[in-house]
């Protein structure tokens, strides 16, 4: 009977401590974010801005922004028509905000990647941080393709 009381007391103390430990998914996300920061990628917890109502995202999950600064260009070499591009994964597939042509490689991206923006000063990939390490590699690859 004494052992039973000791076991209950240990469980009462250890239970809250064990619940404070990070889950497997939380450890994976922390590892991914550390790898991104090590590669010079900015990690921001924010949703994409200025999505037109006609482009309904494929899910309602919270997205995290992985961004990379573009190389500084001198004013004489900067493109004159450098505009902002926004591509959203919808139920019909990838769509552009402005109706511009889509890069062919977008269709090969994992479904966790839901939005991509390209601006003259920065490129951004928004994703759910779900999936495998290969999904993170696709995020890195997309950022590097858009940056160049």
DSSP string, 24-86: HHHHHHHHHHHHHHHTT-EEE--PPS---TTS--S-----EEEEEEPPP--TTTS-TT---EE
Do 128 and 114 contact (CB within 8 A), yes or no? yes
**Is the pTM for the entire model greater than 0.85?**
no
3-state secondary structure of 87: strand
Q: Is the pLDDT of residue 5 over 90?
A: no
Q: Provide the pLDDT for residue 84.
A: 84
The per-residue pLDDT for range 92-105, each reduced to its tens digit, is 889 998 888 888 89
């Amino acid at each position: 009977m004494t052992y039973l009381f000791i076991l209950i007391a240990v469980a009462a103390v250890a239970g809250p401590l064990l619940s404070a430990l990070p889950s497997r998914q939380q450890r994976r996300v922390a590892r991914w974010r550390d790898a991104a920061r090590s590669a010079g990628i900015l990690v921001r917890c924010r949703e994409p801005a200025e999505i037109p109502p006609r482009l309904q995202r494929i899910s309602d999950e919270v997205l995290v922004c992985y961004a990379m600064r573009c190389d500084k260009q001198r004013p004489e070499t900067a493109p004159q028509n450098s505009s902002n591009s926004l591509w959203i994964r919808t139920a019909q597939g990838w769509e552009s905000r402005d109706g511009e042509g889509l890069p062919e490689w977008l269709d090969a991206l994992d479904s966790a990647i839901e939005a991509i923006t390209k601006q003259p000063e920065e490129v951004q990939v928004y994703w759910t941080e779900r999936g495998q390490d290969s999904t993170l590699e696709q995020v890195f690859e997309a950022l590097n393709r858009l940056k160049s």
